[in-house]
Structure 1
Amino acid sequence: MTSSSTPDPADDVSLSWGFTDTASAPASSGGDTTTNQSPEVLLGEVVGGIHDTLPPAWSFYLTEIAIAADEHRTRAAVETPDGRLLPLTVGPGVLRAAAAHRELTAGESPWMWLRITEHRGGEPQIAAFDGFVGAPPQHLLFPPASYRADVSMSTAATTPLWLLAHVHDAGRQLRSASTAAAASPAECVYPTDELPPLPILWPRFAALSAIFAAVDAVDGPRMTSAVGIFRGELGGCTLTRLPCGRAVLSGGADHSTLLTAAYQGQLEHPDLYRGAPAWVSNIVLDERAAAGMLTFCYWWSDGRWSRADLVGPPEWTPVTELASAVPGVWTSVTTAELVRATLGRVGIEVSTDAAWNYVAQVDAGNIRPDLLATLPHPPAAPAEGLAVLDLTQPW
């Protein structure tokens, strides 16, 4: 019963109360009879225990339970028919059953948090999220020390990268301006086939961002006059444009073999900033650096991309880090195909030629390309896309 995606904490922004947090969750082993029951029966006890605490009149409830070693955190609330939201108690019996279910179904990858929702008159919906769908929402995330027992119980091959970084990183990927200024000079490499040149990469990123803005999409790349941000299902990046023709592209793949091997002690931790100039510092880096999840960093100056010289595990290449973390800007064809697919998701069909012509216009600096200006409205919002293109023109 494992979900394929992480729940969006924004869905629960109104439920800022109803938390519990303790380091002494009820144990699931010992003389507790729950350990002799099936996973289905234990989940039934979880739901039944929640029902025992519901008020007589209710229309919907949400309960989240996170467990790490002997600790737990919960978040729970119930909605009444008149629209009120009330905090909901998660009792010891529910926690015992949840802990027993986790222990019984752990295998090599124990679930890290449960999310249970139910509309009155319907069936309870239960999702058990393991660490491979990403870190728990911030309100369910434990300090690093709380997960060390879980990491030690898991085989190294099945420990998710975010958890390895959370436990072992300790800020090693941060690069303050002072540290950057004091860094020793070092050789770097100048790849010519890993990324498009910045004068092409930037407008393609803008072309995609404008389309996602025009169709009012909740995901996809976003862009301002100086920064492009992409958060994908398996990675993400930040493209920062700086004065005097400079730029930094940094980000990471959620399942990077390079960084996983480094955290597992199989190779030296990569120094992504070796040879980087002083202006490559925290202020321009992707947010993943703060979490120890940065797996690539490129800087553009003097008309070329540069990066540190890295050594990875067998069959690893730097391009594998980029594939899941950078949107489809590799060629005009890949960019145009992503434009077509994005429009198709909202029922707007455009030809291959029209999509390619749109990308070509943006590449040429045209901020009012025909494709974007003539998108149907609703559901599209062409003005939003044109605003993106306006912001991202060359300085």
Structure 2
Amino acid sequence: MDAARAVSLVVDWIRSHGLDYPTEGLEADRFDVGWSVYAPVDIDETDPMAFLELPVGRSVFLIGDCGRVQEFSSSVPPQQALDRFIADELALGCLGGGSDESRLLAEFELQFERIPSGAPRAVNELSVVHAPSDSASVAAEASRLIDPIVQQLAQLGPSGWERFSAEFAYTVSAEIGDLRFWVRGRSGLVSGLVPVPESIGELVRRQRRVAAQMPAGPWWRLLLSVTNRGETTVNYDYGDEPFPDGHLMLPEHYRDDLASYPRAHVPVWLAGYVAGPAAQGRDPHQAATAAAADAAAGRAAAATDEIPSLPEVWARWAVLSATYAGAGAEPGPEPRIFPGYAWYENGHRDGSVLFLLPGERAVLSGGSWNSELLDAAYNGAGQLPDLYAGAPAWVTDGVLNTRNRNGLLTFCFWWANGRWYRGATDTDDELDACLPDVWTLDESIRAMTELTGPRTARACRTLLTAATDRQATADQVAALFTDQPGADVDTAVNQLDLAGLLAR
């Protein structure tokens, strides 16, 4: 099929469906398995408000080589539309490997095209048109409903705006809308927020109700980016990544939405946030009650040797913290020492905290934001990991990583009587991403020399050994940074001081 034939079939399709769409001057662009047919739009680039006259959602028609026509809104990203069209072509047997019937139709059309132009024809032309699937129809309707939202938002901007972004975070019981326009000033682009009127809020609600019928369910956030040339980008946020603070609602609003729109899968971080403290909270009363019940039932904690001893873990954590603090490391894995506890976040939403308690006791806990253990519990038939079975009464919220308040704690160990213990669920596999490099002396040295340089390996080993014996000195810390004259040695020394590892 050539471009002229593709345009001709699309024109017939437009007329047969009674669409208000130009049938003259259409253009066709070739892609792998067919043609994209559309009406080109010219705008006055000297008029910054000409965009208001631009039909943002004007249709684009994709027609396959077998003759099937499918309409898409220009609000749908081109690659997304193309992927959906090709998937439908495969499902309908229009591409290689299809049914005998579909191949016969394609061959029939090919023979039809080969009839000499002067020969009489029983019919003037052949169109093989398949209706899109239900999900495709819903997606097309959801895309179409973006158009009036964009058009009305565009009218709220100041004169001469160049682009705007609109971000909507919606549930059935709460809504957040942020609209920001960019205008070019003397010093470059400047931006400002503009209130979103209720009339547009209602359009967004309507669009979300339609989008809720798609397989993925209703979006949690709708993100629009629009230029004054009519270039529109639409993204549905289903919570694959945690929402920014300004768009994170109270848990009850997500519960309301999940009650109205049940979902087969909820992102682990969101499921934990919705579950809240009830899932993993352990206040002093709960801890005492649980400890007494465990003792009465004979439930004991499980001892484990998977983690190095507390003195080794504490010393390595503190020395790594001193190294990071002194070197002024770029944002990323970041261990730190605070009075009474060690803290770590790996830059990918995994982390842990180690609390020291009187009487040579300690609690190590943390979690991974997309843990398979938690996914099985929140989205499958599994149970939340049993982290506290046999735990003493002093293992409470006050010494646990704050992830337990959002149902995202994936491990909990406590040190007592010279050993580490854990609950009934084996969570050793959860530790690697959530702890700094404290597993072996050599691992800690490698992590340090990545910041201080390979020539400092001996100085790193000396400091680690001295810190484990609580005999570290400021000179040993300074020796790490001989190749870094701008290092913050004082802050590094302070980390070891807070950890109680300096010689006195």
Could you state the TM-score of these two structures normalised by the residue count of structure 2? Answer: 0.58
Contact 1:176 1:281 in 2 (8 A): yes
Q: CA deviation at 1:128?
A: 5.8
Q: In the alignment, is residue 363 of structure 1 matched against residue 472 of structure 2?
A: no
The SS at the match of 1:171 is helix
Equivalent residue, structure 2, for 1:9:
none
Q: In the alignment, is residue 132 of structure 1 matched against residue 240 of structure 2?
A: yes
Give the one of 182, 192, 195 matched to 2:289.
182
Q: Distance in 1 between matches of 2:227 and 2:325?
A: 33
Contact 1:340 1:355 in 2 (8 A): no
Q: Distance in 2 between matches of 1:191 and 1:166?
A: 30
1:362/1:254 CA distance change after superposition, 3 Å = same
1:180/1:338 CA distance change after superposition, 3 Å = same
Contact 1:192 1:305 in 2 (8 A): yes
Q: Which has the higher contact order (CA 8 A, sep 6+)?
A: 1
Could you state the TM-score of these two structures normalised by the residue count of structure 1? Answer: 0.72
Choose 243-252 or 143-152, whichever is displaced more.
143-152
Contact 2:468 2:501 in 1 (8 A): no
Opposite residue 77 of structure 2, the aligned amino acid is E
Equivalent residue, structure 1, for 2:171:
68
Q: CA deviation at 1:212?
A: 2.2
Give the one of 306, 315, 320 matched to 2:429.
320
Q: Distance in 2 between matches of 1:109 and 1:201?
A: 45
Equivalent residue, structure 1, for 2:351:
236
Opposite residue 53 of structure 1, the aligned amino acid is L
Equivalent residue, structure 1, for 2:410:
295
Q: In the alignment, is residue 191 of structure 1 matched against residue 295 of structure 2?
A: no
Contact 1:234 1:254 in 2 (8 A): yes
1:168/1:204 CA distance change after superposition, 3 Å = same
Q: CA deviation at 1:87?
A: 3.6
Contact 2:77 2:233 in 1 (8 A): no
Q: Distance in 1 between matches of 2:393 and 2:214?
A: 46
Q: CA deviation at 1:203?
A: 1.2
CA displacement, residues 194-233 of structure 1 (integer Å, 9 cap, x when unaligned): x111100011111222222223344412211311111221
Q: CA deviation at 1:274?
A: 1.7
Equivalent residue, structure 2, for 1:374:
482
The SS at the match of 1:165 is helix
Give the one of 219, 226, 231 matched to 2:340.
226
Q: Distance in 2 between matches of 1:356 and 1:290?
A: 37
Q: CA deviation at 1:66?
A: 1.6
CA displacement, residues 291-310 of structure 1 (integer Å, 9 cap, x when unaligned): 11111111111111111122
1:260/1:353 CA distance change after superposition, 3 Å = same
Equivalent residue, structure 2, for 1:272:
387
The SS at the match of 1:75 is strand
Q: Distance in 1 between matches of 2:206 and 2:442?
A: 50
**Structural mapping, 1:244-283, within 5 Å:** 244-264=359-379, 266-283=381-398
Contact 1:241 1:248 in 2 (8 A): yes
**Structural mapping, 1:91-240, within 5 Å:** 91=197, 92-93=199-200, 96=203, 100=207, 103=211, 108=216, 112-113=220-221, 129-134=237-242, 136-148=243-255, 149-150=257-258, 153-156=262-265, 159-169=266-276, 171-183=278-290, 184=292, 185=295, 186-193=299-306, 195-216=307-328, 217-219=330-332, 220-232=334-346, 233-240=348-355
Choose 236-245 or 332-341, whichever is displaced more.
332-341
Q: CA deviation at 1:68?
A: 3.3
Q: CA RMSD in A?
A: 3.9
CA displacement, residues 316-352 of structure 1 (integer Å, 9 cap, x when unaligned): x5222112221221112222222233x2xxxx64347
Opposite residue 305 of structure 2, the aligned amino acid is T
Q: Distance in 2 between matches of 1:287 and 1:323?
A: 19
The SS at the match of 1:190 is strand
Give the one of 21, 37, 40 matched to 2:77.
40
Contact 1:337 1:352 in 2 (8 A): no
Opposite residue 328 of structure 1, the aligned amino acid is D
Q: CA deviation at 1:115?
A: 5.8
Q: Distance in 2 between matches of 1:170 and 1:202?
A: 28
1:104/1:153 CA distance change after superposition, 3 Å = closer
CA displacement, residues 90-146 of structure 1 (integer Å, 9 cap, x when unaligned): 35548846974893996548753356689999x999876542322x13331233343
Contact 1:274 1:308 in 2 (8 A): yes
1:53/1:383 CA distance change after superposition, 3 Å = farther
Q: Distance in 1 between matches of 2:393 and 2:483?
A: 44
1:113/1:181 CA distance change after superposition, 3 Å = same
The SS at the match of 2:177 is strand
Opposite residue 223 of structure 1, the aligned amino acid is I
Q: Which runs of 5+ in 2 are unaligned?
A: 1-58, 60-70, 79-142
1:64/1:46 CA distance change after superposition, 3 Å = same
Contact 1:374 1:382 in 2 (8 A): no
Opposite residue 341 of structure 2, the aligned amino acid is V
The SS at the match of 1:279 is coil
**Structural mapping, 1:71-90, within 5 Å:** 71-76=174-179, 81=185, 86-90=192-196
The SS at the match of 1:66 is strand
Choose 292-301 or 79-88, whichever is displaced more.
79-88
Give the one of 140, 158, 161 matched to 1:55.
158
Q: CA deviation at 1:47?
A: 6.5
Aligned residues: 345
1:273/1:93 CA distance change after superposition, 3 Å = same
Opposite residue 320 of structure 2, the aligned amino acid is L
The SS at the match of 1:269 is coil
Contact 2:224 2:232 in 1 (8 A): yes
Give the one of 435, 444, 457 matched to 1:353.
457
Q: Distance in 1 between matches of 2:176 and 2:373?
A: 32
CA displacement, residues 175-202 of structure 1 (integer Å, 9 cap, x when unaligned): 1112222332230111012x11110001
Q: Distance in 1 between matches of 2:409 and 2:278?
A: 11
Contact 2:336 2:342 in 1 (8 A): yes
Contact 1:375 1:382 in 2 (8 A): no
